[in-house]
Amino acid sequence: MIHPRPVGLCLSLFLLIAQYPGDVHAEDTSYTFEQLLEDGGLVLEKPADFIIQAPEVNDVLSYEYAIKHNEKKLAVRYAIRPIHMVEIDYEDPHNAAPEPNHLFPMLFQSLISDFSSGGSSPSNEYSASDAKAKFNADWAALAVMDVTRDFTDEYDQVLLLALHKNNASDAYVIVLFDEYVNVKAEINTVLGSLKFN
């Protein structure tokens, strides 16, 4: 379940919570990862040299699929949030509730805050043409930061790739590592592993 924090002055004027029915946590068996991929219009090509791990419960973001490099200190978590599962709890008598297809930039900023252990968290949005070419997405963005111990105590850094396709889903690829230079090639491969149909 994602509980975005209010971002900016206009968003701080009302309560906005995006929720997913059934709270798709790692321990929840009501939706399989394969069902979420299908519902979200996504395909995953598991990178070579990675082994599947069981998802672990954490206080930052539930995810449904996890892999770990079989030699290098590198792990990846995948979280899929189909748009049709989004419920918006919105309290403002003067305005209409936001449309689920318009939440992704705010959710991305909220996740950066949630994943970060503090300090700088540089982020960058892909151009619309690059998002389409690389992921068949309507929007995509990356952020890198020191990762909070609330998510993992095994890795120092996290690279968060966020993808959105209208009327399909939001998807997150969470890449965990210590030294970027040691896993640069593998990260580049991982970033191309999840795409929209």
CA distances from 129 to 132, 136, 196 (A): 5, 9, 14
**For 128, how many CA atoms within 13 A lie in the half-sphere containing its CB?**
2
| Spans of the chain, pLDDT less than 70 | 1-29, 87-97
Strands 157-165 and 123-125: unpaired
C-alpha to C-alpha distances, 156 to 25, 88, 111, 176, 178, nearest whole angstrom: 23, 33, 17, 8, 5
Given this model, what pLDDT does residue 174 score?
A: 97
Q: What is the pLDDT of residues 117-140, one digit of tens each?
A: 887 788 899 999 999 999 999 999
Please state which CATH number belongs to domain 8-196: 3.40.1000
